[in-house]
Amino acid sequence: MDSMIMKGMQFYGYHGVFPEENRLGQKFIVDLDLKLDLEKAAATDDLDATINYAELYEQIKSVVQGEPCKLIEALAGGIATRVLEAYTMINEVAVRVTKPNPPFEIHFDGVTIELRRKRDGNGRVVRA
């Protein structure tokens, strides 16, 4: 299976457990690793044979800038679900969501959650 990787997408959202996070918001960084067949796109140079990553970016943006979640696990799950529902040619997705500035006194580059989801033999979304 081929891969399409989108790294370092930055969005502003209002996710978090603490009221200040929901009120003030913060930056979130999203990475995607998509598994799909890109053979036809590589052979034909046809956008219709692949995923338009500008459109995919807008899908992800609408999730991150949409309804707030308490946990970045839920945010990552929402992104995975949206991607697989919107693009049936994607067989599997790994979503990484990083919260670079959690609101507590600790010094690190942030916390990242990674979820993997795929389609089963019946087309249902399951854990990878």
**Number of other residues whose CB lies within 10 A of the CB of residue 95:** 25
Q: How far is Cα 25 from Cα 14, in angstroms, rounded to an integer? A: 4
Q: How far is Cα 11 from Cα 5, in angstroms, rounded to an integer? A: 17
Residue found under tokens 């690793």: 33
Structure tokens at 19: 């009221």
Catalytic residues: 99
Q: How far is Cα 54 from Cα 64, in angstroms, rounded to an integer? A: 16
